[in-house]
A and B are shown apart, each in its own frame.
Chain A
Amino acid sequence: MTDKVLKHLPLTEATYYIMLALIEPLHGYGVMQKVEQLSQGAVRPGPGTLYGAFTTLEKQGLIVMVAEEERRKSYTLTPLGRQVLLAQISRLHVMSARGSEAAGGLKSTGTK
């Protein structure tokens, strides 16, 4: 994997879900709702967080604006954005698998 992709990892939880929501073109408020739904209510990005994420991700070339109607800009992932998201997902797979293996042992020794 190239450094160009790796330098963006790890994504924060909010950025991860925002990028996940942008697999399909979506505008700001749509992203808010989609992220809440994808994260089962755990992440509800505020407008300040979301605007900042759009600005940063666009500057980094991970998302691109595809449309603007009624003062609402729609964004979607760029090819680089897709690579970054895929790299993050495969890291999460490893983290989750190792975590699940360890969880059994933790539960039996954790409480006295």
Chain B
Amino acid sequence: MQAETRRIFRWFWPWQDEQEESWLSSLASQRGLHLASIAPPGIYTFCVGEPRPVIYRLDYQYLKGQDRPTYLQLFRDAGWEYVGQMSNWQYFRRAEVAGEDHEIFTDSASKAEKYRRVLPFLVLISIVLGTQLNSSLYGRWPSLGLEVTRFLLFCVLMLLVYSLIRIAQRIRQLTR
């Protein structure tokens, strides 16, 4: 018999990684929902089981094929189970046991580094979208479709810029 699963859709903003961790932990400890897989843009599949305290932690790494096995082995050796990845966010978990380590980043310098790795991707997407938006302003045929697309592009761009500001703030807090 196959285990019961539940699917939840949730949008995840790049500055909300800690909220994401506590959301997953509370689902595990209160409702017995244990993350089985994740897929972009935010489809979470859970196995339904016994509620138990589990700690979730997210790293941000763009992993080239040959780096992945050694990266995952290091976390495994340290007692972390790999759940999966979504847009370069790497999801790990371990059972919550008093007296054991609960952090994958143990100083603020390395935590700030994690957020610094997020920045180039956001900047890149912002530039691509910004260029698209800019060239669409010189479109020859003003039409409703174009206006809507332009507006949507603008909204996404604003959200990206907002993400950049929030992440830059996190880095400043951590390196102060």
A47 touches B113 (CB 8 A): no
Q: Which of B26-34, B65-73, B141-149, B150-158 contacts A (4 or more CB under 8 A)?
A: B65-73
Chain A stretch 1-59: residues in CB contact (< 8 A) with chain B: 12-14, 28-29, 32, 43-53, 56
Q: Is the interface of A mostly helix, strand, loop or mixed?
A: helix
Minimum CB–CB distance from A77 to chain B (whole Å) comes to 19
A12, A28, A45, A52: most-surrounded residue (chain B CB, <10 A): A52
A56 touches B107 (CB 8 A): no
B59, B73, B80, B101: most-surrounded residue (chain A CB, <10 A): B73
Q: Say yes or no: A49-B78 contact (C-beta < 8 A), given A71-B70, A71-B73, A72-B73.
A: no
A46 touches B105 (CB 8 A): yes
CB neighbours of A49 from chain B (8 A): 104-107, 110
B104 touches A47 (CB 8 A): yes
* B64-88 contact mask (Cβ, 8 Å, vs A): 1 or 0: 0000011111110110100000000
Is B93 located at the chain interface by the 8 A CB criterion?
no
Is A82 located at the chain interface by the 8 A CB criterion?
no
B74, B75, B101, B114: most-surrounded residue (chain A CB, <10 A): B74
B77 touches A13 (CB 8 A): no
A45 touches B106 (CB 8 A): yes
* B98-120 contact mask (Cβ, 8 Å, vs A): 1 or 0: 00010111110110011000000
B106 touches A28 (CB 8 A): no
Q: Say yes or no: A28-B113 contact (C-beta < 8 A), given A43-B106, A46-B104, A49-B107.
A: no
- Using CB atoms, name the residue of chain A closest to B73: A71
CB neighbours of B73 from chain A (8 A): 28, 70-72
CB neighbours of A52 from chain B (8 A): 105, 110, 113-114
CB neighbours of A72 from chain B (8 A): 70, 73-74, 77
Minimum CB–CB distance from A8 to chain B (whole Å) comes to 13
Minimum CB–CB distance from A72 to chain B (whole Å) comes to 6
Complex CA distance for A56 and B113, rounded to whole angstroms: 10
Complex CA distance for A70 and B5, rounded to whole angstroms: 34
A73 touches B70 (CB 8 A): yes
CB neighbours of A70 from chain B (8 A): 73
B69 touches A47 (CB 8 A): no
Complex A-B: 7 CB contacts under 8 Å? A12-B107, A29-B78, A46-B105, A49-B107, A49-B110, A51-B71, A70-B73
Residues of B within 8 A of A (CB): 57, 59, 61, 69-75, 77-78, 80, 101, 103-107, 109-110, 113-114
Residues of A within 8 A of B (CB): 12-14, 28-29, 32, 43-53, 56, 68, 70-73
